[in-house]
Chain A
Amino acid sequence: KQEVTQIPAALSVPEGENLVLNCSFTDSAIYNLQWFRQDPGKGLTSLLLIQSSQREQTSGRLNASLDKSSGRSTLYIAASQPGDSATYLCAPRNSGNTPLVFGKGTRLSVIA
C-alpha cells in the first residue's frame, strides 16, 4: 500500500527566500505524481504533474523533481511571496487506474 510522507509539516520563511518541500513515497513503481496547493477551507489547485519517465517539471517559479528509484519528489519554490502561503500536497499514483494517494501536506507561511 502506497504511503506518502511530507517533510517538513510546517515551514515559515521570510519573503524572497528559495525553499524546498520534500515528499517521499514507499512504492517507487509510480505512474505519475502531482503537486497541489490548498488554501485554508478551499479545494486543491493543481500545480504540476510529473510523469514517471520525467526527472523534472517547471511552471513559473515552481520546479518539481522526481527520483523514482529513491521514492522522492521535491517541490522547489523560487523567490517566495506571501501569496505562496498555503498547504502543499503531493500525490503519487501507481497506475492510470488507481487513485491519487496524498500526504498530509506541508503548511507554508511566507512572511512579508
Chain B
Amino acid sequence: DTGVSQDPRHKITKRGQNVTFRCDPISEHNRLYWYRQTLGQGPEFLTYFQNEAQLEKSRLLSDRFSAERPKGSFSTLEIQRTEQGDSAMYLCASSIWGLQETQYFGPGTRLLVL
C-alpha cells in the first residue's frame, strides 16, 4: 500500500480552460476528501465522499467545480473555465470512517492558471 496518490502533480493552464485532477485513496478507505491550499494558508475543505456518495460540499465549491467518485475508489475533481484565482494546491485525503479517523493526505496537485 503506497498511500494516497494524486495526478498530475503539476498543471499549468490558460484562463478559461478546463482541468481535471485525479486522486487514488489508500485502498479500503471509504472516505475521500478534497481540500484547496493557497500560499501561506492552511488547507480549506472543498468536498468529501463516503464511498460513492458526496456528503458535503463547501461554499468554496462554485458551480465551476465538480467532483465525482463513481465506484467508491478513485475520485476526480474538475474545474471548468478556470480563473486565475483557482491557482492553488489541491490536496486529497482519505480515511476509514470510525472513531480514530486519521486523514492521510496525498502529495497534492499544484495548479497555475495563467
Contact = CB atoms under 8 A, between A and B. Distances in A.
Interface of A: 4, 32, 34, 36, 41-46, 49, 51, 89, 91, 96-105
Contact of B107 (A42, A100, A104): A42
Given A42-B108, A44-B105, A46-B103, 12 more contacts: A32-B101, A36-B105, A42-B107, A45-B105, A49-B102, A51-B99, A89-B43, A96-B99, A99-B58, A100-B45, A104-B42, A105-B42
A58 to B, nearest CB: 15
Contacts of A89: 42-43
A103 B110 CA distance: 20
Interface in B52-75: 55-56, 58
B105 A43 contact: yes
Contacts of B111: none
B72 to A, nearest CB: 17
Given A99-B48, A104-B40, A43 B107 contact: yes
Contacts, number: 57
B97 A99 contact: no
B33 interface: yes
B77 to A, nearest CB: 15
B105 A46 contact: yes
Closest 6 CB pairs of A and B: A102-B42, A99-B45, A44-B105, A43-B105, A43-B107, A43-B108
Contacts of A32: 101
Given A41-B110, A43-B91, A49-B100, A101 B105 contact: no
Given A4-B42, A89-B42, A103-B42, A97 B55 contact: yes
B31 to A, nearest CB: 10
